[in-house]
Amino acid sequence: MKKAPLYSRSRASASVIEADAAPVASPPGRASRLGAFATRHERRLWAATVLLLVLAAIVFNGSFGPKEPALTFKQIDAAMRQSLDEKPLPSPATKAYDAVIGSVVRVVGLMTEGDDGSDDKANAQAERGVGTGVVIIDNGTILTNLHVINGAKRVKVTFMDGSESEAMVVSTQPQNDLAVLRAKTIPDDLEAATMRSTADLAPGDQVLAVGFPFGIGPSASAGVVSGLKREFRSPEGQQMLTNLIQFDAAANPGNSGGPLVTMDGEVVGIVTAILNPSRQRVFIGIGFAVPIENAAAAAGMPPF
């Protein structure tokens, strides 16, 4: 007898199963399919398993292995102290000196011997006054004290690189004992000092006086601001200076005209006088400087 088909060819009878049809074999299960896949790729699966085990071992050792202990504050402090002992940091005064020294000049007022009424008519040049100046504009504009160059026939300045130049007097401000010079020749790398307002200057602030005391230098002396808005009358009583900065950094004849500098290396004043009740002209702990606002005005510069 002819065997009946499993499915009807017609769409209408496709779902009708003959009662006497042979049983249909069930499709292979998921477990059997995975087993077949494992059989076909056995070597690759073993290699992947080994690789995963190695990676797990590496992660395990990194996570739970011994770690370097964290440094304590005591250890950090000891390391910093050792580093500072091996290479100490420069002091604030040293930093201030390094910042301003390239702008400091030695100022000498010259006169022909015999011009002072003496009998010697030689044409040799004699020093009438020795002081200090500070470059405030890099075209060679220099601030100094008027009394350093007053009465001189010629003015000579010496820059920090050792070069010398004659200088002409541009302007003066007698009420503040200030003079503005302009050097005729200047170094190629001349730098002007940075000036700073005295508006926030206060007693106790550290300052540095840089100059040529008794012609020796450049020399630096550190101290503090002792007071503000002080007055000073010249020994001869001919002039009263007002609105001065009082400081205790050592200053002597020759410091006149030099910069008074903050620990940032910025100029806040021009050293102009020392209180000297004796005739020996030595520093007793009280010096005076003209605020840089007045000094800048003498050079025609705008106020801060």
CA angle 112, 116, 118 (to 5 degrees): 100
Q: How far apart are CA 212 and CA 214, in angstroms?
A: 6
- The answer to whether residue 177 is catalytic is yes
Selection from 302, 236, 227, 242 nearest residue 272 by Cα: 242
Catalytic residue from among 103, 147, 219, 221: 147
Catalytic residue from among 103, 165, 177, 219: 177
Amino acid sitting at position 113? E
Around Cβ 299, how many Cβ atoms within 10 Å?
19
- Looking at residue 215, the DSSP 8-state letter turns out to be G
Burial class (CB in 10 A: 0-12, 13-18, 19+), 142: buried
Q: Is 295 helix (H, G, I), strand (E, B) or coil?
A: helix
Please give the C-alpha separations between residue 213 and each of 130, 161, 247, 264, in angstroms, as whole numbers. Answer: 9, 19, 16, 23
The count of C-alpha atoms lying within 13 angstroms of the C-alpha of 254, restricted to the half-sphere facing its C-beta, is 18
Q: How far apart are CA 201 and CA 37, in angstroms?
A: 87
Around Cβ 24, how many Cβ atoms within 10 Å?
8
Catalytic residue from among 219, 221, 226, 256: 256
Cis peptide before 218 (omega within 30 of 0): yes
Element (H, E) at 288: strand 287-291
Q: How far apart are CA 90 and CA 112, in angstroms?
A: 45
What residues act catalytically? 147, 177, 256
